[in-house]
Amino acid sequence: MKKKIAIISSIGGGGHVAVSGALKEVLDPDYSVVVNIMLQEILAPVDWIQQASFGHSSGEQMYNYFIKRRAYRLLNAMAWISHYFFGSFTKKISHLINNYLDKTKPDLVISVAPYFNGYLAEATQARFIPFILIPTDLDATTFVQGIDNTHHPLRHIALSFNDPEIKKRAHVKHHPLITGFPVRKEFFTHDQNKEQIKKDFNIPAYKPVILILMGAQGSQSTLDFARELAHLTQPAHLIFCLGKNETIQGQIETIPFLPHLSHTCVGFTPRMADLMAISDCIITKSGSVSVCEALYMNLPLILDATGGPVLKWEAFNHRFIPEHGFGHSLKKLSDLTPLIDQLLIDNQLPVIRQTIAAYEKKEALPEIKKLIDRLLGN
């Protein structure tokens, strides 16, 4: 009988779902893998939004609603309130997590969800169950809350990059495990037939390509970027990834782009790695999954910080990217056009691409699989 692995995930944003899906894909052949959503399924009795809406909504669905509307100030306030709210249910949360483990009976637990890992670490340790924490943010602060710094042979925190600040924020003191970020395999390969991909998406062969990606949920901010980019002085092709928010395509089509600019609108697609492969630069929100997927594709980044204060768990990315020479953090929308024009005029994008390519990036999924095989004796 296959040994069972429980992956604890979240549906707040698309990143946790993408990582848990990638893990399940690589582990499924050798293990029995179950994926459960921490707040929506395991901790539903303490999710006050689920209770108040009689299960019609959840805290994570509300998070996605506000993300689409870039209500970052409100989300930061909600995160602060939630910290104290859930703190008043310590015994209840511990009870629910222990019940989950007793019912599911996993041989190993992986968490890619934030906030409640202290409870998971304590419960798995009491049962001698191996526990692997895989933060889906480069700033792991919200993932390691409640986890002490003592070394335990069955507990591992997998970090994306061998970076002093990343280690510091994860509070890892004992031989940190550097696995790389668990991007899907297609984001780790660079042998795509780029000519064919451009034909598939009807993209001009010889123009610089700018990819605009605001997350799986889509975002109204894409429309703001489209209006600003319509004034680029340098020839370029713009790809607007609309995610699940395809309703704004009609509005984009009415924008009077300058004649030397062409554009493509793409809805929710499984071919994001292909789109990154043919792009020269990406404008994206600062979620770590999108950031790391771009880094693994050696794609220069412009991170969106135009909506006021950024999410506190993504603020680190706005320093990490410029400090390493991987791209820029955009504070004002009006700076976007001159920034891209200058990058194109000075031919800086290939230089940034080379800098990213030189940065060590491990292939995480095989590294994590090897660790699991060792812990479970496979």
**Could you tell me the CATH number of the domain that includes residue 13?**
3.40.50.2000
Sequence-separated (6 or more) residues with CB below 8 Å from residue 14: 215, 216, 217, 243, 287, 289
Name the residue range of residue 32's domain.
Answer: 4-183+361-376
304 closest CA partner among 211, 237, 230: 211
Whether residue 308 has pLDDT greater than 90: no
Q: Which residue has the tokens 């390493």?
A: 324
Q: Which of these ranges, 139-153, 221-235, 310-324, has the smallest mean pLDDT?
A: 139-153
Q: What is the pLDDT of residue 49?
A: 72
Q: How many domains are there within the chain? A: 2
**Mean pLDDT value across the chain:** 90
Output the pLDDT for position 362: 94
Q: Are residue 290 and residue 179 in the same domain, yes or no? A: no
151, 95: one domain = yes
CB count within 10 Å of CB 250 equals: 9
Contacts of 116 (CB under 8 A, 6+ apart): 38, 43, 86, 93, 97, 146
Q: Tell me the pLDDT tens digit for each residue of 63-119.
A: 777 777 777 777 777 777 777 778 788 999 999 999 999 999 999 999 999 999 999
User: Which is higher by pLDDT, 378 or 2?
Assistant: 2
What secondary structure does DSSP assign to 184-210, as a single string?
A: -GGGS-----HHHHHHHTT--SSS-EE
Scanning the structure block, which residue is given the tokens 């680029």?
Answer: 232
Cβ–Cβ < 8 Å for 216, 268: yes
Query: For residue 215, what pLDDT band results from cuts at 50, 70 and 90?
Result: low
Joined together, the tokens standing for residue 323 give 């400090």
Domain identity same for 179 and 196: no
Section 341-354 average pLDDT: 97
Q: Quick check: 156 pLDDT over 50?
A: yes
pLDDT surpasses 60 at 218: no
Sign of CA dihedral 349, 353, 356, 358: negative
330 & 346 share domain:
yes
Amino acid at 58: S
State the Cα–Cα distance between residues 24 and 59, nearest whole angstrom. 24
Residue 174 binned pLDDT confidence (cut-offs 50, 70, 90): low
User: At residue 148, does pLDDT exceed 90?
Assistant: no
pTM: 0.90
SS3 content of the chain, % helix, strand, coil (to 5): 45, 15, 40
Looking at the structure, do residues 302 and 170 belong to the same domain, yes or no? Answer: no
Per-residue pLDDT, 351: 98
135 shares a domain with 22: yes
Identify whether residues 366 and 349 lie together within a single domain: no
Contacts 24+ apart (CB under 8 A), 18-22: 18/184, 18/216, 18/289, 19/112, 19/134, 19/136, 19/182, 19/289, 20/112, 21/184, 22/182, 22/183, 22/184, 22/365
177 and 193 both lie in a single domain: no
161-189 mean pLDDT: 85
Q: Which of 140, 179, 175 is nearest to 161 (CA)?
A: 179
Q: Three-state SS for 261?
A: strand
**Residue 147 sits in the same domain as residue 218:** no
- Residues 177 and 196 placed together within one structural domain of the fold: no
Q: Indicate if the pLDDT at residue 336 is higher than 90.
A: yes
Same domain? 15 vs 116? yes
The amino acid at 262: S
Element (H, E) at 34: strand 32-37
Mean pLDDT value of segment 121-129 = 96
**Which tokens in the block code for residue 262?**
């062409």
